[in-house]
């Protein structure tokens, strides 16, 4: 008969060991949690998002450049294809004329060696041999020379068209890569912003709105001072008495004033990469659109716009209303100077066209249009 013995109660030593083990596990768990990366603060998220937006701006200008090049190449390819078609028609007509000569000679007793050579696949070979045969009439020689010239032009244009098509294909691939890069940066920025609470996101938006409002107030004050100085003594007398007018007191020229007015009419419009207006813009899209309203055509990208006028250095004190302010060493952002140390620009995805301090980013060039 089996014995049914009670298990012995755990001794104090055993209980102590188990308690110590449990405490150690809890301690290790707490220690592991303590070493986990803390969630980024609102300011850290903003800094990272700003960096991503800057990188996206670089990719956006690459996208804009590739898009502009693609459009130009498409036009060139179209023009070349039209030219090839016209030249092919001319070559066909010339060949038809030579065929008529051959037919006429056949009806009159056979095709002469001259015409046989003319109808050969090598016009160059014909011209070389025809001189020794001394059988080429003036009209025949002229017709063949014209055929030879047209065929050469046709071959050259076909080759050029093929080269342009290859370049177009490469540019299209570059365009896609730049677009993918922009979208990737923006997706990362969105992910980061989504780690914040709604209250924190509202705080960031409020800070941006306050910065834009302060910039607008400064720009308005500078404009009022400029208008007052212009009414009181005029720019010429001011220059005569001081040697030169301070930058903030220099009124915008006619086309610069028109460009500023156009940009101001778009305050609050959303930033959209690759957009050139009239309802949404990226940075160079805004400056290009604004100057277009003043009758001035600017290149598509910020890098190209940096060479569209006269460089004035990088000191904002020398800027005048209407100047383009180009930012970063890669010249990947541009704004329109409105005076009073302020610009109007399209900052980045998620933002709108707004006023901002002209020195909020590192200035690479000031360009007078």
Give the DSSP per-residue string, 221-243: HHHHHHHHHHHHTHHHHHHHHHS
In a domain, 16, yes or no: no
Task: Report the SS3 class of residue 334.
Answer: strand
Number of domains in the chain: 2
State yes or no: is 348 an active-site residue: no
The confidence score (pLDDT) of residue 250 equals 55
In a domain, 17, yes or no: no
**84 and 104 assigned to the same domain:** yes
The confidence score (pLDDT) of residue 286 equals 98
**328 and 229 assigned to the same domain:** yes
The confidence score (pLDDT) of residue 213 equals 81
Task: Please give the torsion angle defined by the CA atoms of residues 192, 193, 196 and 197, in that order, rounded to the nearest 10 degrees.
Answer: -150
The confidence score (pLDDT) of residue 106 equals 57
Task: Return the CATH number at 350.
Answer: 3.90.1720.10
Contacts with 334 (C-beta within 8 Å, 6 or more apart), sequence order? 283, 284, 287, 302, 305, 306, 324, 325, 326, 327, 345
Domain end (from 194, 219, 254): 194
State yes or no: is 35 an active-site residue: no
Domain end (from 194, 228, 246): 194
Residue 150: which domain range?
Answer: 43-194
Per-residue pLDDT tens over the stretch 143-195: 777 777 888 888 888 888 899 899 999 999 988 998 899 899 989 988 988 88
In a domain, 146, yes or no: yes
The confidence score (pLDDT) of residue 103 equals 64
Task: Report the SS3 class of residue 37.
Answer: coil
In a domain, 165, yes or no: yes
Residue ranges, the chain, pLDDT below 50: 1-4, 12-34, 131-136, 235, 237-249
4, 35, 283, 348: the active-site residue: 283
Domain end (from 170, 194, 218): 194
Burial readout 222-241 (b: 16 or more C-beta within 10 A, e: otherwise): bbeebeebeeeeeeeebeee
Contact 298, 321 (CB under 8 A): no
4, 35, 333, 348: the active-site residue: 333
**203 and 330 assigned to the same domain:** yes
Task: Please state, in angstroms and rounded to a whole number, the distance separating the CA atoms of residues 79 and 353.
Answer: 38
């Amino acid at each position: 008969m089996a014995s049914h013995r009670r298990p012995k109660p755990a001794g104090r030593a055993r209980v102590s060991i188990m308690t110590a083990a449990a405490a150690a596990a809890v301690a290790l768990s707490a220690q592991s949690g303590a070493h986990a990366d803390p969630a980024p603060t609102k300011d850290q998220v903003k800094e990272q998002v700003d960096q991503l937006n800057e990188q996206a701006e670089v990719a956006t200008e690459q996208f804009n450049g590739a898009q502009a090049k693609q459009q130009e190449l498409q036009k060139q390819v179209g023009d070349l294809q039209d030219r090839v078609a016209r030249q092919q028609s001319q070559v066909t007509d010339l060949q038809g004329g030579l065929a008529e000569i051959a037919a006429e000679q056949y009806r009159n007793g056979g095709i002469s060696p001259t015409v046989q050579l003319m109808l050969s696949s090598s016009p160059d070979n014909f011209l070389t041999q025809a001189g020794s045969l001394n059988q080429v009439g003036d009209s025949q020689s002229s017709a063949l020379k014209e055929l030879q010239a047209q065929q050469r032009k046709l071959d050259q244009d076909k080759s050029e068209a093929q080269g342009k098509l290859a370049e177009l294909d490469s540019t299209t691939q570059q365009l896609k890569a730049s677009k993918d890069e922009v979208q990737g940066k923006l997706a990362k920025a969105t992910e980061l912003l989504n780690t914040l609470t709604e209250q924190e996101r509202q705080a960031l938006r409020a800070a941006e709105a306050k910065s834009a409002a302060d910039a607008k107030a400064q720009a308005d004050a500078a404009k009022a001072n400029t208008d007052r100085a212009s009414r009181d003594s005029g720019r010429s007398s001011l220059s005569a008495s001081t040697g030169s007018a301070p930058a903030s007191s220099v009124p915008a020229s006619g086309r610069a004033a028109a460009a500023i007015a156009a940009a101001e009419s778009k305050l609050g419009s959303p930033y959209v990469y690759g957009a050139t207006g009239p309802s949404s813009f990226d940075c160079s899209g805004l400056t290009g659109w604004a100057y277009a309203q003043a009758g001035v055509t600017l290149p598509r990208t910020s890098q190209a716009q940096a060479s569209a006028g006269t460089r004035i250095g990088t000191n904002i004190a020398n800027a005048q209303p209407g100047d383009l302010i180009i930012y970063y060493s890669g010249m990947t952002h541009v704004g329109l100077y409105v005076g009073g140390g302020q610009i109007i620009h399209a900052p980045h995805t998620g933002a709108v066209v707004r006023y901002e301090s002209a020195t909020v980013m590192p200035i690479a060039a000031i360009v007078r249009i």
